[in-house]
Amino acid sequence: MPRAALPRHAAARRSRLVPLLCAAALAGGGLATLAGGADAADVNLLANPGLESGALTPWSCTDGAGAVVGSPAHGGTHALRGTPSNSSTAQCSQTVAVKPNTTYALSAWVQGQYIYLGATGNGVVDPAVWTPGGSSWQQLATSFTTGSATTSVTVYLHGWYGLSAYLADDVVLGGPGGSTPSPTPTATQSPTPTPSPTPTATPTGSPTQTPPPAGALPVAPYVDLGAWPTPVLKDMAAAGNLKSFTLAFVTSVGCKASWFNAYDPKSGWGKDQIDAIRAGGGDVKLSFGGASGTELAQACTTVDSLFNEYDAVVKAYGLKYVDFDIEGAAVVDTAANDRRSAALAKLQQAHPGLKVSLTLPVLPEGLTADGVAVVRSARDAGVAVDMVNVMAMDYGRPSTDYGDDAVQAGQSTHDQLKALYPARTDAQLWAMTAVTPMLGENDDHGVFNQGDAQQLVTFAKQHHLGMLGFWEMTRDAAACTGPLYKCTNVTQSPYEFSKIFAGYTG
């Protein structure tokens, strides 16, 4: 994120030049909100929508986690029951044919804890809605508009990792049908989406303890895996009271993915460390790009070749979260950014529910004009952008209060996203906003100290931001004075910042 991962033994990080913010008039579509009902225009395109056949077909559920039950049912005599586990949200889905450039209404009656309803497809912004649930039936309803190339969509329902079974019934996709749909993805093609593993088994209903609707890794600081010796993630997690991390950085050697030009991620390098984090109830984001090296979208000249590299890495680690740290020359490379957007839309089709975050330069006034263009490119390509993560650091201006600046950068970015995604609620926009400062002394010699960290955590709790991160765990662990690539240059104890950030739970 903030800084790019250095090759091993590198002595310093380069300063990042931040262009001035240009105001832009923005427009675009976005997520629908939880509503009381849906206008099921035309016909219901879903087969077996109330499970009255007594069988799941044509619904497909991951990990064999779905079943048909006779009671309770909302309508008729049957309903769908999905049973999540610590590693599965019990996603059940069905793919149907639709027409391009057409608006569809989607609804379902649900019962249980933390239930999601949404749809994915080429050129479709996932209109996901959710509810904390309860003991009675509730209706989830939303709508979406297909893109010019959309011929099919996959409607899905799922619960939450480690929580109790959910029920769904009378699912409706209203609108005109299209030609023969693509096959419904199988369990191996459709990894579970959205939330992170093993939340609290019995949520209390407190906003700081229940899962957020978008990013489900509320704190995921960056770890420079190019540091020497290689950081041990489970030890960092234990020492810093953390569960999850953003791993930096996958770059390119030609049009081939590479961990900081040293190891092949497709071989699963470091997967044992990721497995250990998951076993402890956390998860990882894998970050492509950074300030050093070349991001794959600049190295790969076709959408297909770029998709193939991203896809192979996602498969190698079984990823639910991917991050794209786009800065320096990459953020102004329009062709590469559009190529990345097209590849990511294809990647999310291949991996329904895959969460994509964009990490971008920011000023207190908000994203730079080039950063806004990156988000717009992804939106227009049909990428379901989970979060926009801003690098609240290195502003390159006279000394200011870095705590105030980080808070203002988050607020400004939220306001810009409202223009990009006008259909989203304020809560959805905050859940789409992530902030990542650089700990201690920044490259421009501004300082983000422990008080600033607490200020940012308080702001995040107030608005329920999608995620907080920071650059970078090994600097926090070293708690030293010296080169900025390994020291914060503020008086601190090891993992002091980590423990402050760990106070944010969503």
Each residue's pLDDT tens digit, 45-65? 999 999 999 999 999 998 789
Q: How confident is the model at residue 204 (pLDDT cuts 50, 70, 90)?
A: very low
Whether residue 207 is predicted with pLDDT greater than 80 in this model: the reply is no
Q: Which of 27-36, 169-178, 255-264, 463-472 has the lowest mean pLDDT?
A: 27-36
pLDDT for the residue 43:
87
DSSP E strands, 176-233: 222-224
pLDDT for the residue 38:
38
Pairing mode, strands 447-448 and 103-120: unpaired
Per-residue pLDDT tens over the stretch 71-85:
899 989 999 999 988
Domain boundaries, the chain: 43-175, 222-501
Whether residue 141 is predicted with pLDDT greater than 60 in this model: the reply is yes
pLDDT for the residue 180:
56
Radius of gyration of the chain (CA): 22
Per-residue pLDDT tens over the stretch 267-323:
999 999 999 999 999 999 999 999 988 999 999 999 999 999 999 999 999 999 999
DSSP H helical ranges for 270-360: 271-279, 296-299, 303-317, 334-350
Q: How confident is the model at residue 87 (pLDDT cuts 50, 70, 90)?
A: low
In sequence order, what are the residues at sequence separation of 6 or more whose Cβ sits closer than 8 angstroms to the Cβ of residue 227? 6, 8, 474, 486
**Secondary structure, 3-state, 434-479:** EEEEECEECCCCCEECHHHHHHHHHHHHHHCCCEECCECHHHHHHC
Per-residue pLDDT tens over the stretch 313-371:
999 999 999 999 999 999 999 999 999 999 999 999 999 999 999 999 999 999 999 99
Residue 327 annotated among the catalytic residues of the structure: yes
Closest CA to 486 of 436, 446, 438, 434: 438
Overall CATH class of domain 43-175: mainly beta
CA distance 155 to 105: 11
pLDDT for the residue 34:
33
Whether residue 255 is predicted with pLDDT greater than 80 in this model: the reply is yes
Q: How confident is the model at residue 178 (pLDDT cuts 50, 70, 90)?
A: confident
pLDDT for the residue 181:
43
* Residue with more model confidence, 139 or 40: 139
Closest CA to 260 of 298, 287, 233: 287
pLDDT for the residue 64:
87
* Residue with more model confidence, 185 or 383: 383
Per-residue pLDDT tens over the stretch 409-422:
999 999 999 999 99
Burial of residue 371 (CB within 10 Å: 0-12, 13-18, 19+) is: buried
CATH among 3.40.50.300, 2.60.40.150, 3.40.718.10, 3.20.20.80 for 222-501:
3.20.20.80
Torsions phi, psi of 96, nearest 5? -135, 160
pLDDT for the residue 130:
79
- From 295, 309, 327, 441, active-site residue: 327
Pairing mode, strands 385-392 and 433-437: parallel
CA distance 123 to 504: 34
pLDDT for the residue 6:
33
Whether residue 27 is predicted with pLDDT greater than 50 in this model: the reply is no
CA distance 472 to 242: 13
DSSP E strands, 253-294: 257-259, 284-289
User: Which tokens belong to 501?
Assistant: 């950030």
pLDDT for the residue 37:
37
pLDDT for the residue 164:
87
Q: CA triplet 430, 368, 358: central angle to 5 degrees?
A: 50
Mean pLDDT (whole number) for 134-154: 90
pLDDT for the residue 420:
96
Sign of CA dihedral 323, 326, 330, 335: positive
Whether residue 10 is predicted with pLDDT greater than 90 in this model: the reply is no
CA distance 284 to 286: 6
In sequence order, what are the residues at sequence separation of 6 or more whose Cβ sits closer than 8 angstroms to the Cβ of residue 47? 58, 94, 96
Mean pLDDT (whole number) for 181-208: 35
Torsions phi, psi of 491, nearest 5? -70, 120
Q: CA 56 → CA 51, 65, 91, 93, 289, distances in Å?
A: 7, 11, 13, 10, 42
pTM: 0.62
